[in-house]
Structure 1
Amino acid sequence: MIGDITNIISADAENERELLEGLGVLSRVTALCSELTVEADPDLPWFFDMCSPTRLVGGPNPDGRYLLAMIRGDRGYRVTGTRGTTAYLGLQVLAGTGMTPRRMAAYVSDTDLKLDGGEFALVFSATEPTDLDGAQWIQIPDDATSIVVREYIADAHTEQSATLHIEPLGTPAPARALSDDEAAEQFTAMAWTIMKLTTLYRTIKPELLDQPNTLVTSQAADLGAADTTPDNLYMLGTFRLAPDESLCLEFEPPDTRYWNITLENIWHECLEPRRRHSSVTNKGVTPDADGHVRIAIGGNDFGHGHWLDTGGRHRGFVVFRWLDNPDPPKVSVEVRSGEAAR
């Protein structure tokens, strides 16, 4: 599978920089998928961060956090934690094993959580336990595989992240050697996920590559139920720019608690957020006097608006996400060269 994906990357990269970035993405995706499959222990799971300061692959929000715990549908689990003060928190159960496409089997938004002094407790199991001990019960199917936690942060300097802990119901099964079939299933799942995450640009609205410098609205279901949640809405597009050009966005901010604009390379990897300003939230930009936000995307800051830095890349993705399903904002899009618009 890694050899096949290497050939795909080599064929789809338009220059040396894209080729090297694509191979780097493949390396980071492989490491992530090892954690998801070979290193996982559904009998005694833990929440780990799918991202790191240098691993932001699969189209994540760099102004957020993505935690994952691998589970089994024939087991039960108790998740406890504190809500914190971030803009959004959601827990999603994914199901599907081997080469079967993943699907969303259950979802709990922060608006659904029953809080007690900021704390919550959830039980995930196929059948409802007789004693929930104050927890909310979330039913999971027999082929449940993971709990995905998404947390969006509007202002990292002032907001406090949620805390989460997972433990199995009852005594964990004793450690034992894997069978051949179990090992094969792990590597099959690993290969499937590597292909999926590395080639998102081919499966999620691939027509955008041929329609650069435009944005289209997408419901969560349009992007794959396993990759989003129903209270997230998106505008997606690609940029294709010369060094002296900017892609300028102008819009009235959506009426929501959180929105974010993120730049990604062609492989859906965030653009070096530790080293350059390539994303912004609703708390990071102030509307102009007319109430509109103006964003300028490009390799140089020509003063057309709040600058998001492409790092000189000639093409990539633009992701505009917002919460709670308000009407999509009307976004005007134009390419400007220096001071002249076209």
Structure 2
Amino acid sequence: MDGRTIATAALGQFKKARVAYLKLRGQTPDSVAEQRVAAGTSWDEFCDTLKSAGAAIVFPGTPSDPLTQAEGYRYLSRLTRAGLEAFVEYADPRAPVLRRMIHETAKMGSDNPDNHYLNATIDGALDYRITGTRGTVDYLGFGTQEGNYGEGGQMPTTGYVEAADLDIGPDGRFELVLSATEREGNWLPMTSGTGLLIVRQTFADRATEIPAELHIELLDGSASPAPLTSAQLDAGLGKASLLVAGASMLFAKWARDFQKHTNELPMFDPERSTKAGGDPNIIYYHSYWRLGPDEALVIESEVPECDGWNFQLDNHWLESLDYRYHPIHVNKHTATYRPDGSVRIVVTHRDPGLPNWIDTTGHDCGAMTFRWIRAAAHPQPHTRVVAVSELSRLD
């Protein structure tokens, strides 16, 4: 260990000892936070946790090819950006803002390419109102979650309501109240532990549908954010870094576990999905795929009566592949169906000239997800790996 490392370690121990000493002297949490920020402890711990998050990139089962590794470190940078925005810039539940945490360049947990996600930090002890217009997006759902991202991987749903269940005016406008106590009219339940609002807008056809326009405020009037305090920054940096370390490790473990049934699509435990913040109206089939240069993954399924369904391809880090420029997913609206109403999806490295082609975009492996949304039944998608040369001979 060199002198600089020893000095750095000693400084870190001194800062921790200093904080402990202040606590023993009866300092308040605010004064302790002020000392931590002023001493650089908050920043040092933030950086140390970010550094430790690199363990996810070398987690057992992680491919070592250059593309996967490069995307892994980009993934950590994306999580860092998302965490800082969520917990430092937009963390005040008294001045809530609906914003996109997950989008085209910040992805997590097999994000749905058909979704336009909105999030807001809220507090179950307060009451809120959402106002706006319904738009024409195919599906619009509002969910309150316990806790928040980066707080242990568990975010059980505390309330859920869909636009189809709301009273919406002829002009498309509506109001929705969020509170822990029941209200007349459009109401979204919360509990004392609620900390997050997730709005899911699911497109059938992004090219033609209009998303909802939404605004959230405190029922007694949203306030401008108060001046930043040391306590807020200290907590925000801590939560942001824990999101990076926690989410990356959680989904690294998922990716490892999914490899146990590579190129298959078993149903994912619905209870586990909901606790992690998944939509309670969706049944998920999470798995892993791996294909050689001349191999194709063929997925076939009956299609039940449902509000929607889709299939998507992800990289190893459970980030959806780049749907802005490549056909990496297919849904109920965009799919071509077989004469009997079933669907066949073909995953290959090059376009085989067949319907419902999914592009691997230069990847050899990764995660994948199939969803049934409010389906009357949940048929098991069947998978098989065949040579690309055999695709033209499929019935």
User: TM (normalized to structure 1)?
Assistant: 0.90
- Is 1:89 the counterpart of 2:140? The answer is yes
Aligned match of 2:306: 256
- The residue type paired with residue 168 of structure 2 is L
Q: How much does 1:305 deviate?
A: 4.6
In 2, Cα distance between equivalents of 1:111 and 1:204: 33
> 2:285 touches 2:370 (CA, 8 Å); kept in 1?
yes
Q: How much does 1:339 deviate?
A: 2.5
- The residue type paired with residue 317 of structure 1 is A
Aligned match of 2:156: 103
Q: For 1:1-342, what aligned pairs fall within 5 Å after superposition? A: 1-11=49-59, 12-40=62-90, 41-96=92-147, 99=151, 101-117=154-170, 118-127=172-181, 135-172=185-222, 175-204=225-254, 206-303=256-353, 305-340=355-390
SS of the residue 1:319 aligns to: strand
Change (3 A) 1:234 1:175: closer
Deviation per residue, 1:55-92 (Å, 9 max, x gap): 33332111120001111223221101222222211111
> 2:265 touches 2:287 (CA, 8 Å); kept in 1?
yes
- Give the percent of matched residue pairs that are identical in Structure 1 and Structure 2: 31
Q: How much does 1:292 deviate?
A: 2.4
In 1, Cα distance between equivalents of 2:182 and 2:342: 49
Change (3 A) 1:297 1:47: same
SS of the residue 1:107 aligns to: strand
Deviation per residue, 1:95-125 (Å, 9 max, x gap): 2268454322111122322222232211112
More divergent stretch after superposition (264-273 vs 217-226): 217-226
Indicate the structure (1 or 2) with the bigger Cα radius of gyration: 2
In 1, Cα distance between equivalents of 2:255 and 2:163: 29
More divergent stretch after superposition (102-111 vs 160-169): 102-111
- The residue type paired with residue 162 of structure 2 is S
Q: Please, what is the CA RMSD of the aligned residues? A: 2.4
Change (3 A) 1:104 1:305: same
In 2, Cα distance between equivalents of 1:259 and 1:174: 40
Number of positions where the alignment pairs a residue of Structure 1 with one of Structure 2: 338
> 1:56 touches 1:62 (CA, 8 Å); kept in 2?
no
Q: How much does 1:217 deviate?
A: 1.2
> 1:298 touches 1:309 (CA, 8 Å); kept in 2?
yes
Change (3 A) 1:301 1:35: same
In 2, Cα distance between equivalents of 1:202 and 1:313: 17
Note the residue ranges of structure 1 that are not aligned, 5 or more in a row. none
> 2:157 touches 2:274 (CA, 8 Å); kept in 1?
no
- The residue type paired with residue 187 of structure 1 is L
In 2, Cα distance between equivalents of 1:83 and 1:151: 10
Change (3 A) 1:86 1:177: closer
Deviation per residue, 1:270-318 (Å, 9 max, x gap): 1111121101111112212232211111211235652100112111111
Change (3 A) 1:205 1:255: farther
In 2, Cα distance between equivalents of 1:196 and 1:58: 12
Change (3 A) 1:53 1:218: closer
- The residue type paired with residue 48 of structure 1 is R
Note the residue ranges of structure 2 that are not aligned, 5 or more in a row. 1-48
Q: How much does 1:174 deviate?
A: 6.3
In 2, Cα distance between equivalents of 1:246 and 1:160: 35
Change (3 A) 1:33 1:137: same
> 1:200 touches 1:267 (CA, 8 Å); kept in 2?
no
Q: Which has the higher helix share?
A: 2
Change (3 A) 1:54 1:173: closer
In 2, Cα distance between equivalents of 1:190 and 1:4: 13
Q: How much does 1:147 deviate?
A: 0.8
> 1:220 touches 1:229 (CA, 8 Å); kept in 2?
no
In 2, Cα distance between equivalents of 1:329 and 1:309: 24
Deviation per residue, 1:141-199 (Å, 9 max, x gap): 22321210011101123322112111112244565444444333222322232233323
> 2:145 touches 2:196 (CA, 8 Å); kept in 1?
yes
SS of the residue 2:306 aligns to: coil
Change (3 A) 1:304 1:335: farther
More divergent stretch after superposition (58-67 vs 117-126): 117-126
SS of the residue 2:239 aligns to: helix
> 2:160 touches 2:189 (CA, 8 Å); kept in 1?
no
